[in-house]
Amino acid sequence: MESLMSAYGRLPVSMVRGEGAKLWDESGKAYLDALSGISVTALGHANPALTAALTEQAQRLVHVSNLYNIPEQQALGDALCRIAAMEKAFFCNSGAEANEAAIKIARLHGHKKNIDTPTIIVSTTAFHGRTLGTIAATGNQKIQKGFGPTMPGFVDVPFNDADAIEQLAQSRSDIVAVLLEPIQGEGGINVAEDGYLAAVRNICDQHGWLLMFDEIQCGMGRSGNWFEHQNHNVQADVMSVAKALGNGIPIGACLARGAAADLIQPGTHGTTFGGNPFACRAGLTVINEIESNNLLGRVTELSTRINEGLHSRLHNRPGVVEIRGKGLMIGIELEQPCAALVGKALDAGLLINVTAEKVVRILPPYILSNEQADELADTLSTLIIEHIEST
């Protein structure tokens, strides 16, 4: 690792092969992957349909540039707009870039209204990426630390607090948009409460602001619906997706509807790689596989099964604060910091993650078998109980 910058605190393991929900390391040890590369490999590893599609695409055409029409990009734009009830798509290579496009759209929207310092409301516990723009789009000082001067144009409010947004509407005239994750991932699996997104939608409508959802982690089926905001019956003007969209092939998209969909014009935004035939073929195959195998229904089934397993062992247990989440995005908040659980789970052959210091996070793939779902709930509960008892 000497030639790599120390950006990551890595676990001492090297994965060399995957199949479905399983991974194998160099020594041949098997792991149940309950993290999916952080919400990415929703269809599992070495998914046969994806492998076949990508092989065919690689043999035919990988990249041409956005100087030309790209049929695969058009088809994926159509598919995403259909499942998200959006009108137009801009393709890029990551989640942070999708949010950058959203932020640029919000600023264009503000300047069109002659607002010189367009400002976006974000959440104190948000995570929107690691670019200079997206680290400014959070109130989380840890993410910003060391990288000042912070890009201006954001103001943060507590999550699930519509009154705080209403107050800003009364006190400021430079707000142009609200950017929210319908379920906060890195912030600790914080689910938007019933009525919150609708209340924010209402405030946005009253003031001519754009409502922008970051569905990068909770979208693409993870919540049991294509997108979490659909579970709330609230439509955004702009939405960012990435992570599971390519099942591991880097791709992101910013979707928009109404006037927001027409703000990006030739020369105002762009990317070399974004929306290339290879990445778009991955996205098309992912959508097609989720639909043809009814995986949205399966996510809900698996969620019920895993939650029953977790609740039967952990609910109301001393040391456990709450089990929460939606679909296959599940967080178990403990009373004490629990980062050490990640290594213990690794030893036990289970891949999990801890976020916001005290929240055990699982983001399993949609293709788990019932046996794997039971194994996950059982192993994880045992590890958590042992951990609580040893601290």
Ligand X SMILES: *Cc1c(COP(=O)(O)O)cnc(C)c1O
Shortest CB 240 distance to ligand X, Å = 7
When the beta carbons of 180 and 314 are compared against ligand X, the nearer one is 180
When the beta carbons of 73 and 217 are compared against ligand X, the nearer one is 217
Strand order in the sheet with 353-355: 320-326, 329-334, 359-362, 353-355
When the beta carbons of 186 and 333 are compared against ligand X, the nearer one is 186
Shortest CB 52 distance to ligand X, Å = 25
**How big is the chain by its Cα radius of gyration, in Å?**
21
Q: What number of CA atoms fall less than 13 Å from residue 40's CA on the CB side? A: 15
Shortest CB 38 distance to ligand X, Å = 7
When the beta carbons of 109 and 128 are compared against ligand X, the nearer one is 128
Shortest CB 385 distance to ligand X, Å = 29
When the beta carbons of 221 and 309 are compared against ligand X, the nearer one is 221
Shortest CB 218 distance to ligand X, Å = 7
Enter the tokens of residue 306: 């895993």
Shortest CB 154 distance to ligand X, Å = 14
Tell me which residues touch ligand X (CB under 6 A).
Answer: 94-96, 99, 127-129, 181, 185, 214, 216-217, 242-243
Four-residue CA torsion sign, 366, 368, 373, 379: negative
CA distance 44 to 35: 10
Four-residue CA torsion sign, 23, 28, 30, 31: negative
When the beta carbons of 279 and 388 are compared against ligand X, the nearer one is 279
Which residue is at the shortest CB distance from ligand X? 95
Contact of 178 with 211, CB cutoff 8 Å: yes
Sort 179 into a burial class: Cβ within 10 Å, 0-12 / 13-18 / 19+: buried
Shortest CB 129 distance to ligand X, Å = 4
CA distance 341 to 345: 6
Shortest CB 319 distance to ligand X, Å = 27
CA distance 335 to 175: 37
